[in-house]
Amino acid sequence: MDILPSNTDPCLLHAHAQWRGPLQQGRTLADNGDYSAALTPLAEAIRISGSFHPLFHFLESGLNTELAALHLQHGEWAEAERLFDRAVFLHHDNAVALQGKALAQTEESAPLPAYQTRQLAALLTPKPTADGIHALYRQAHAADKAEAIALSRQAIELCESTHRMYHRAAALPWLCRAECFAAQGEDLLARNDIRHGMDLDRENAELLALSVRLAA
């Protein structure tokens, strides 16, 4: 249920490894009917998985910010503004993107302060890899304009797909705990966990089935 594809980006593999252990422990206890004991490791899996959520938002926001800044530098105002908008959507307090958007709207170019993209990428991928978001980001910084734009777009697309995959994986601890609550007759707690799980992955068939069963 929580096996990630072989082509999963290294940053998600690293994140998932942090909560896989307590999730598996909780599942094993639940499979053995010890639902009360399963709640503790499942709560830990929820806590750890949730701690990575803002990092994916910040990283994707940073990638968009830096590509937008490159377009801003070359006077490509419309594309810069579009990318800054996306960056702010992902990280509402992204001061660099907000400043860049204001410049793009007035068709002015000025140096922008650095966004912490490099540190975020390193945090999510602590070991150097030859592929993935972090590698594309490093390559873009060493390239000329045309190649830097192409590589940055690839990094953003990969980050978007990895972010969606994160959502699916992070919904599973919520599902497992909801199942434990439901087995104990704690329907209100189960419904609350279903809601949190579906906020992450609205297409999770098991969450949908459990929700329908509790509503019957």
Hey, CA dihedral for 93, 97, 99, 102, is it positive or negative?
Answer: negative
The domains of the chain are located at: 9-170
Tens place of pLDDT for every residue, the chain, 216 residues?
567 888 899 999 999 999 999 999 999 999 999 999 999 999 999 999 999 999 999 999 999 999 999 999 999 999 999 999 999 999 999 999 999 999 999 999 988 999 999 889 888 988 888 889 999 999 998 999 999 999 999 999 999 999 999 999 999 999 999 999 999 999 999 999 999 999 999 999 999 999 999 998
Distance CA 63, CA 69 (A): 10
If you ran DSSP here, which 8-state letter would residue 74 be given? T
**H/E segment holding residue 99:** helix 95-105
Cβ distance 42 to 22 under 8 Å? yes
Q: What is the chain's Cα-based Rg?
A: 20
Place of tokens 């994707």: 60
| Rounded-to-integer distance, Cα 85 and Cα 141, Å | 22
pLDDT of 2 reads 64
**What single DSSP character describes residue 75?**
T
User: Minimal CA–CA distance to 16: which of 124, 91, 136?
Assistant: 124
